Amino acid sequence: MNDKEIEKLIAAEGKRQREGLEMIPSENHTSADVLKALGSRLTDKYSEGYPGMRYYGGCEYVDAVENLARDRAKALFGVSHANVQPYSGSPANQAIYFALVDPGDTVMGMHLYFGGHMTHGLKVNFSGTYYRSVQYHTGKDGYLDYGEMTKMVKTEKPKLIFVGATAYPRIFEWARLREIADISGAWLIADISHIAGLVVAGAHPSPVGQAHVVMTTTHKTLRGPRGAMILCNGNPSNPLKAAERRPENLPTLIDRAIIPGLQGGPHNHQTAAIAVALREAAQPSFKQYGRQIVKNAKILAEELLKKDYKLVTGGTDNHLLLIDLTNKKIIGADAEKALSKAGITVNKNTVPFDPRSPFSPSGIRMGTPAITTRGMKEKEMVQIASWIDEAISSASDAKILTRLNKQIGEFCKKFPLPSDPAPKA
């Protein structure tokens, strides 16, 4: 690379990832094949529209790429329609609102401070600005409050309900959620960005067949490039009425919302990398991977509970842990910094009913997707829990954190990134 400044920064980031433990639950490590597709000549091609219906010539190969990605997504998740063009998760969710409700309509989603996402109705987000947003919460135990949701739907009568989370460690009961949505005839939208890989692996129930629309990013537990997909079932019975907001028209409604509704040309290099990741996710080994993510998270939770850490809901069913550090006399931001100095990357996070600001919350969030990708299993989780405890307990001791950083760096050499050569025996 001729740009030495950028080359140096890329190398530094690679070194940080190789020598540390990536434990932010929304992050993962992609394969060499995904990276190769992402950096391909496909990035040069403009292709507004859909395969066979482009506004540009010369699209025969990018058409084939997008068709592969769509077919693989449909097969993997068991749906009849897939749109693989969303640039990322937030634009994908915006497209779903655009397709199914009008500005000012009542929408409902989990509150960000209780584990939800900004695009699920946060007041300062577009979803809480252009729509009348009402927000549901967890109970004091940290579990989703289905009773509160039921009461809110009866009172507020939302037209669309988002279900999904960024910091919820338990299973979503999709059939129960559909029953709640049906009270007001609301569209039920499943945002499975965090758990899509677990759904593929059979480690979390699938929302397909219960949710009207499923959205997922492709760069979390699916282990692909940054991007997103919108999945649904449907087949317009009357093409002249395909724009009506009816379940059978969902494919048309979603596609029109992406283009010409909100986006221009798709990122073809991204689409190709998504296709590669979907092929990888269809292999038998991926099911083992997804289940190992959950095994690792459960062992990590058990070990931290032994060390008197307060886990929201008391444990986990999926890939992440949400930890309330109040009893450890340290705030989330300080724990994040201490762990980072030790070579463990997590993020500060609010916990349910947090008395502190989201900029200085009481908790931290961590997960096991990326470290599982590197081949770490139950035994390594015991060691990692010990390091987490020592780093948090010694947050103000620079010498201990430096020592931990060296230990973790040596440990990580045994578990290369998927795009790196295997360590020598």
Q: Is 141 in the active site?
A: no
The b-or-e profile of 394-412 (16+ CB within 10 A means b, else e) is bbeeeebbeebbeebeebb
pTM of the model: 0.95
- Flag whether 376 is in a domain: yes
pLDDT at 424: 66
Within 13 A of 172's CA, how many CA atoms are on the CB side? Answer: 30
Residues 277 and 387 in one domain: no
Q: Is 328 in the active site?
A: no
Residues 94 and 236 in one domain: yes
Nearest to 190, CA basis, from 163, 216, 169, 210: 163
Domain that holds residue 386: 285-412
Residues 256 and 304 in one domain: no
- Flag whether 26 is in a domain: no
Residues 216 and 174 in one domain: yes
Residues 117 and 212 in one domain: yes
The structural domain count of the chain equals 2
**Tokens 């759904």 — which residue?**
199
CA–CA distance, 268 with 272 (Å, rounded to integer)? 6
Catalytic residue of the set 45, 226, 279, 403: 226
pLDDT at 236: 78
Q: What's CA 349's distance to the chain center, in Å?
A: 15
Collect all residues with Cβ–Cβ distance below 8 Å to 60 and sequence separation of at least 6: none
Catalytic residue of the set 217, 218, 221, 345: 217
pLDDT band, very low/low/confident/very high, at 106 (cuts 50, 70, 90)? very high
Residues 55 and 91 in one domain: yes
pLDDT at 307: 98
Nearest to 389, CA basis, from 318, 319, 328: 328
- Flag whether 136 is in a domain: yes
- Flag whether 8 is in a domain: no
Residues 64 and 118 in one domain: yes
Q: Summarize the confidence of residues 390-418 as an average pLDDT.
A: 97
Q: Is 3 in the active site?
A: no
Residues 274 and 305 in one domain: no
Q: Tell me the pLDDT tens digit for each residue of 71-101.
A: 999 999 999 999 999 999 999 999 999 999 9
**pLDDT(210) > 80:** yes
Vertex 222: Cα angle to 369 and 181 (nearest 5) = 105
Residues 275 and 404 in one domain: no
Q: Is 46 in the active site?
A: yes
pLDDT at 425: 60
- Residue ending a domain, choose from 219, 252, 281: 281
- Residue ending a domain, choose from 256, 281, 306: 281
**pLDDT(310) > 90:** yes
Vertex 21: Cα angle to 11 and 320 (nearest 5) = 130
- Flag whether 17 is in a domain: no
pLDDT at 241: 79
- Flag whether 403 is in a domain: yes
Residues 235 and 293 in one domain: no
pLDDT at 237: 73
Residues 78 and 184 in one domain: yes
pLDDT at 20: 98
Q: Tell me the pLDDT tens digit for each residue of 173-199.
A: 999 999 999 999 999 999 999 999 999
**Tokens 């940054």 — which residue?**
226
Residues 114 and 209 in one domain: yes
> How large is the greatest C-alpha to C-alpha distance in the chain, in angstroms?
71
- Flag whether 25 is in a domain: no
Share of the chain above pLDDT 90, in %: 95
Please, what is the average pLDDT of the chain? Answer: 96
Catalytic residue of the set 19, 48, 248, 397: 48
**pLDDT(242) > 80:** no
Q: Is 341 in the active site?
A: no
pLDDT at 238: 77
Q: Is 154 in the active site?
A: no
pLDDT band, very low/low/confident/very high, at 361 (cuts 50, 70, 90)? very high
Higher pLDDT, 358 or 94: 94
The CATH number of the domain holding residue 364 is: 3.90.1150.10
Catalytic residue of the set 54, 70, 72, 220: 220
C-alpha distances in Å from residue 314, one per residue of 26, 102, 156, 322, 361:
21, 40, 31, 9, 19
CA–CA distance, 380 with 400 (Å, rounded to integer)? 20
CA–CA distance, 11 with 30 (Å, rounded to integer)? 16
**pLDDT(420) > 90:** no
β-sheet with 310-311: strand ranges across? 310-311, 320-324, 363-367, 347-349
- Residue ending a domain, choose from 262, 281, 300: 281
Catalytic residue of the set 191, 255, 303, 336: 191
Q: Tell me the pLDDT tens digit for each residue of 249-282.
A: 999 999 999 999 999 999 999 999 999 999 999 9
Q: What's CA 7's distance to the chain center, in Å?
A: 28
Q: Summarize the confidence of residues 130-141 as an average pLDDT.
A: 97
The CATH number of the domain holding residue 149 is: 3.40.640.10
Share of the chain above pLDDT 70, in %: 99
**pLDDT(228) > 90:** yes
